[in-house]
């Protein structure tokens, strides 16, 4: 997500109109696609339905939820405004920072939300020392998928600076052919990030799979015409994810890899 490194609030107004076009609910959506469906002219020569796997970052590859909640609560305390609570903060993980603040504090003046952003960044980047490990099995799973010839990518609400930082710190950057961030496109659930990755990799949308832990990931995939697999160890509940059209809900990253292969 975009938390510490979002694009500026001045850019938010330019993105809001486009983002709102893709905020329709997913309650009635039922996917008719899946790994057993022939793609394009048929299955690949390896007999698999997907060539490109696009991952969300926070809550899917990295366990950053506790740090995000702590930093948001600390930022609110710094400014003497009500703490939205861990449940509300968890619910907006996955959105760009501007969109998240609008959800948490819809009545707050723009200036106050900007101050909140700055205090959040200070805590996330400098003051808070909460560990953010990769989820179990992620390093080995990415290596295995790359070794088996899948193209791997990241579509995240993080800004470019934030994503590059964690890719370097975790040593996982070498596995990804393409990465796309909210400050380079639109916040989820707008499909722009996925569309850019499809263009960059030259992949047909029916040969791609989105993997994420939030309804925003599932909605982005739907809006881009891409299949989606949910993980149930992140921030949104299984029922929500399946209601939004996820083809399945994996309990671990190892299960993600088994489902794909």
pLDDT value for 200: 97
Q: In whole angstroms, what is the distance from residue 37 CA to residue 32 CA?
A: 9
Question: Cβ distance 227 to 209 under 8 Å?
Answer: yes
SS3 for 82?
coil
- Residues with a known catalytic role: 56, 58
CATH number attached to the domain at 65-127: 1.10.150
Positive or negative CA dihedral for 157, 230, 145, 46?
negative
Q: Which residues contact 163 (CB under 8 A, 6 or more apart)?
A: 5, 57, 154, 156, 179, 181
Domain ranges for the chain, please list them. 13-63+135-260, 65-127
pLDDT at 41: 32
Total residues found in the chain within this entry: 261
CA distance readout (Å), 30 to 21, 236, 237: 20, 18, 17
pLDDT of residue 77: 96
Residues of the chain predicted below pLDDT 70:
1-46
In sequence order, what E strands does 66-159 have? Answer: 151-156
3-state SS, residue 75 = helix
Superfamily of domain 13-63+135-260: HAD superfamily/HAD-like (3.40.50.1000)
Q: Are 260 and 50 in contact (CB under 8 A)?
A: yes
Whether the model clears a pTM of 0.95, i.e. scores above it, the answer is no
What is the rounded CA–CA span in Å between residue 217 and residue 229?
A: 9
Adjacency order of strands within the sheet including 249-250 = 178-181, 151-156, 52-55, 208-212, 227-231, 249-250
Q: What is the pLDDT of residue 46?
A: 57
Q: What's the burial of 168, exposed, middle or buried (CB within 10 Å: 0-12/13-18/19+)?
A: exposed
| pLDDT on residue 6 | 37
Residue 117: the pLDDT is 85
């Amino acid at each position: 997500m975009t938390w510490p490194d979002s694009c500026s609030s001045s850019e938010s107004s330019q993105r809001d109109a486009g983002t709102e076009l893709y905020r329709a609910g997913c309650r009635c959506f039922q996917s008719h696609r899946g790994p057993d469906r022939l793609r394009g002219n048929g299955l690949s020569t390896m007999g698999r339905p997907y060539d490109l796997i696009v991952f969300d970052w926070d809550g899917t590859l990295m366990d950053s939820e506790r740090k995000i909640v702590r930093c948001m609560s600390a930022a609110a305390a710094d400014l003497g405004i009500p703490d939205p609570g861990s449940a509300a903060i968890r619910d907006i993980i996955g959105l760009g920072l501007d969109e998240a603040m609008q959800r948490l504090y819809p009545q707050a003046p723009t200036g106050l939300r900007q101050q909140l952003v700055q205090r959040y960044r200070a805590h996330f980047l400098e003051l808070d020392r909460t560990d953010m490990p990769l989820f179990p099995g992620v390093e080995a799973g990415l290596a295995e998928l790359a070794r088996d010839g899948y193209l791997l990518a990241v579509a995240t609400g993080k800004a470019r600076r934030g994503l590059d930082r964690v890719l370097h710190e975790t040593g996982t950057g070498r596995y990804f052919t393409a990465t796309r961030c909210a400050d380079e496109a639109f916040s989820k659930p707008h499909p722009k990030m996925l569309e850019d990755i499809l263009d960059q990799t030259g992949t047909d949308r029916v040969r791609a799979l989105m993997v994420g832990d939030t309804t925003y990931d599932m909605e982005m995939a739907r809006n881009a015409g891409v299949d989606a697999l949910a993980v149930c160890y992140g921030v949104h509940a299984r029922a929500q994810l399946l209601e939004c059209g996820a083809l399945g809900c994996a309990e671990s990253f190892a299960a993600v890899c088994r489902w794909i292969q």
